[in-house]
């Protein structure tokens, strides 16, 4: 069993982005810029935003943070997005989800210029992912693919099972595996015989948001297990969607939580932002 080290892979991705950024500055005097918008004071969102800021510093980006009070109106938020769409030094716009209940995240995402949508949530970018002709990929699924490539894990012809059908992870994850010729099954809360379906997977991706949901009987001997979950167990300790201790000995590869998929998400965001800077400057 080999542990897939997300910190190691993400460090490599960030180094590549840093090199690319230095080149853009030197050759074209372009500094990629990322704007992060956070509404309210969700503690988990705050942690993410701080990590994004640190990553921007590390790779040499210009970054701006807009921390808005929880009672911000839809109009105020949309007007900020419009302003950022027009800012020349901002190449990527990221609105941290979830937004407070009274705001409509769909409308907000659709207001972002698709060429600055470094989360790849805009309908235009989602459509391009379906077609396989994309500019940007959603950060978490793209990070998962990056890990599989790093460890030379072949997707083509494999049985791939994704548990969870969210627009952020489950659906795009399935598409990316499909683009690499995996045979893909998406499972969700209405799936019958879930354990049986999962136990046929060569590559199992858990993105369901339930602590230790995937148990040993759901995992095939020698499977690759990717845990996208970020949960807390009964003792308040950070854990994933996979019961790591009981599952790990059955796997050929497994991602830990923390230190697996998490670091990859931010590394991919950096990759998307440098790509956005290049697209917007016709490079």
Active site residue 171: no
The alpha helices in the chain, defined as continuous H runs, are 6-28, 43-59, 74-86, 105-111, 123-131, 139-150, 170-179, 194-198, 244-247, 261-280
Question: 10 Å Cβ neighbour count for 71?
Answer: 10
Active site residue 96: yes
Distance CA 68, CA 76 (A): 9
Q: DSSP per residue over 171-193, as a string?
A: HHHHHHHHHTT-EEEEE-TT-TT
Catalytic residue among 14, 116, 117, 119: 119
Burial letters 258-278, b for 16+ CB under 10 A, else e: ebbbbbbbbbbbbbbbbbbbb
User: Of residues 14, 52, 171, 212, which has the active-site annotation?
Assistant: 52
| Sequence-ordered list of residues with C-beta below 8 angstroms from that of 79, at least 6 positions apart, any chain | none
Any bridge partners for residue 163, and if so which?
187, 206
Is 2 one of the catalytic residues? no
Structure tokens at 268: 């991919």
Q: List C-alpha distances in Å: 104 to 22, 46, 95, 119, 209.
A: 38, 20, 12, 17, 22
Token pair for 88 = 């020349």
Burial readout 80-92 (b: 16 or more C-beta within 10 A, e: otherwise): bbeebeeeeebbb
The residues assigned a catalytic role are 52, 96, 119
């Amino acid at each position: 069993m080999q542990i897939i080290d997300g910190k190691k892979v993400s460090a490599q991705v960030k180094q590549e982005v840093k090199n690319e950024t230095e080149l853009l500055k030197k050759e074209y005097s372009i500094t990629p810029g990322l704007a992060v918008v956070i509404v309210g004071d969700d503690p988990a969102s705050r942690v993410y935003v701080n990590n994004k800021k640190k990553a921007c510093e590390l790779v040499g980006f210009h970054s701006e943070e807009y921390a808005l009070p929880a009672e911000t109106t839809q109009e105020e938020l949309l007007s900020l997005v419009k302003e950022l769409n027009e800012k020349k030094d901002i190449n990527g716009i990221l609105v941290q989800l979830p937004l407070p209940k009274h705001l409509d995240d769909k409308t907000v995402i659709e207001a972002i210029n698709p060429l600055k949508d470094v989360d790849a949530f805009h309908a235009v970018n989602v459509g391009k992912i379906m077609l396989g002709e994309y500019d940007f990929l959603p950060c978490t699924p793209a990070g998962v693919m990056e890990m599989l490539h790093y460890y030379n894990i072949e997707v083509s012809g494999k049985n791939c099972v994704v548990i969870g059908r969210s627009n952020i992870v489950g659906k795009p994850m399935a598409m990316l595996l499909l683009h690499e010729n995996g045979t893909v099954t998406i499972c969700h809360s209405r799936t019958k015989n879930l354990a049986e379906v999962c136990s046929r997977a060569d590559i199992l991706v858990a993105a369901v948001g339930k602590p230790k949901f995937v148990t040993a009987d759901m995992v095939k001997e020698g499977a690759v297990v990717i845990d996208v979950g970020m949960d807390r167990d009964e003792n308040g300790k950070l854990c994933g969607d996979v019961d790591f201790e009981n599952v790990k000995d059955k796997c050929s590869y497994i991602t830990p939580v923390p230190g697996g998929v998490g670091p990859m998400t931010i590394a991919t965001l950096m990759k998307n932002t440098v790509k956005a800077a290049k697209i917007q400057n016709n490079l």
